Amino acid sequence: MIDMSTLRNLLRNDVRLIARDRMLATMAVAVLTMGVVMRFALPALDVALAESGVMPTPDLDLRFSDTFPAFVVFVALWQGANIPGVIFGFVLLGEKEDRTLEAMQVTPLSLRRFAMYRVSVSAVVAFVTIVYLSLSTGWARVPFLQLLPLAAAASLAAPLSVLAYATFATNKIQALAFTKFGGLAGLLILVGFFVPTPWQWPLGIFPPFLVAKAYWMTLDHNAAGALWPLLASVVLQLSLLRVLVHRFVHTATR
């Protein structure tokens, strides 16, 4: 366990590192504005597309508002975890580049406990961000108590991103390239929304999609059925976290 004094120092240092990095600070502000933007942008776009005859059309009885659950999940549950993951991943990668992790080996704080601190903090920040974004969008909302386990499962994507960047990227330039893969992976959520139900399940190889599926099932008043993809996503993500923590601890100072 990390004592409270060390925890406060670590948190204070994280805030300082993020605040002084313009890119990371901008990302932190951007993720907090997404919910408000979605709240007004989605209905405005729905009206514009309907009036222009784009959605719906004589051949396609689908309004843009019918797709709100896909975009809410993509922004709130995916980006709400992905962006904090990128932010803390870059912080950890910077500490790796600066050899801070090597210096840590002569302190009472072990590298494994520090890795668990990074995992925990990024997951908590992602959880709060996801709940905030889900509520602030105002659309396609599930009941608050049902949202909490969904947000908890979705938040596990953040520490996965943190450890992936810090483990596999050798510098921040390479990590920036990796962020593109994260963005493309998230598109599976948008695409999967339009895939017929039996064919959605193979997309569960990407665990955040299983959280998205659970969210949509809950939205359709099938909370009991949503439990299974939710549990599957948690098991998969925790298994990956265990592997990545082990790999990070054994490679971070090489």
Count how many residues are written for the chain: 254
Tell me which residue range forms the domain holding 108: 4-251
**Cis? peptide before 56, omega within 30° of 0:** yes
The per-residue pLDDT for range 90-149, each reduced to its tens digit, is 999 888 877 777 766 667 778 888 888 999 999 999 999 999 999 999 888 899 999 999
| This prediction's pTM | 0.93
Q: 136-167 pLDDT, tens per residue?
A: 998 888 999 999 999 999 999 999 999 998 88
Q: Does residue 60 carry a pLDDT above 90?
A: no
Residue 254 scores a pLDDT above 70? no
Tell me the C-alpha distance between 154 and 50, whole Å.
32
Which amino acid makes up residue 126?
Answer: A
Residue-wise pLDDT tens digits, 171-207:
888 888 888 887 788 899 999 999 988 889 899 999 9
Phi, psi of 159 (to 5 degrees): -65, -30
Higher local confidence (pLDDT), 183 or 46: 46
User: Tokens 């893969």 sit at which residue?
Assistant: 181
Q: Match 């298994």 to its residue by tokens.
A: 239
Strand, helix or coil for residue 222: coil
Q: What angle do CA 115, 117, 118 make, to 5 degrees?
A: 65
Of the candidates 90, 38, 98, 97, the one whose C-alpha atom is nearest the C-alpha of residue 69 is 38
Domains in the chain, number: 1
